[in-house]
Amino acid sequence: MKDKFFNYIQELQNTITSKLEVIDGKAKFQEDLWKRPEGGGGRTRVIENGNVFEKGGVNISGVHGKLPNSMQQYFGVKDADFFACGLSLVLHPKNPMIPTVHANWRYFEMYDQNGTIVDQWFGGGQDLTPYYLFEEDAKHFHLTCKTACDKHNPEFYPKYKVRCDEYFYNSHRNESRGIGGLFFDYCKKSEDMSMQNWYDFVTEVGNSFLEAYVPIVEKRKNSNYTKTQRNWQEIRRGRYVEFNLVHDKGTLFGLKTNGRIESILMSLPPHVQWVYDHHPEPGSEEEKLIKVLQQPKNWV
């Protein structure tokens, strides 16, 4: 399974980066191959200063070795080895009318001292962080997520949509990071689902990503915007940074397993503002967004 999924994310990375370069029309992804001293490595691809994408990364990694002590405590195990692989992407468009997007699809195995698999699971999801709320874009993104889920289980979309709203939540701000999508983790073998079933589901979601995001980019990339709207985008990016550095488990896992710091922090946008005690104008488009972030909606 680990070889099968690692091959899948390598192909998916190629598909996604090729499509994004075409959409941008100017910038190309810079590739870094890296090795982790304890075992494994990855292929980082970053795009910067394009016509459409101000900064973005589409990264894959496959790492293995002894599970660090901090993570052994987290999982409640002793002397375990692990293998983890995944694709993680974040795209920060230049135009504030285009939402930032994040996605991740991953697989994890844990072994005892004999090398026997004692646990394995899939995780992942995809979510949208707009700066200006276009309801048709939100509905399109969520409908694409739901369509992918419904092919495998009609209960998946409502369950993983709620989990996404719960996970990507800046509790210190009492607001969501964005308008959500899907979030699933610890997807393990059960009476209803084999690991092959989970593989089929996770790859279905991964394959739906471009369909969920690209039409929104194409629709908004030539929209006009003002300096004031750009400032709002940078203020909201600050909230994105806060979530990733304060709450995100993936960032924490990468830092605690001696991951590659440039790959872990590639999710951070290049231009951000923190304005003291900032509040949008009552009745404005900016306030409309905040109200939805404070009270998540059912989009489909």
Active-site residue, 102 included: yes
Residue whose C-alpha is closest to residue 218's, from 86, 8, 23, 77: 23
Residue whose C-alpha is closest to residue 136's, from 223, 219, 233: 219
Which one is catalytic: 64, 92, 102, 140?
A: 102
The label of the residue with tokens 């191959």 reads 33
Catalytic residue annotation? 102
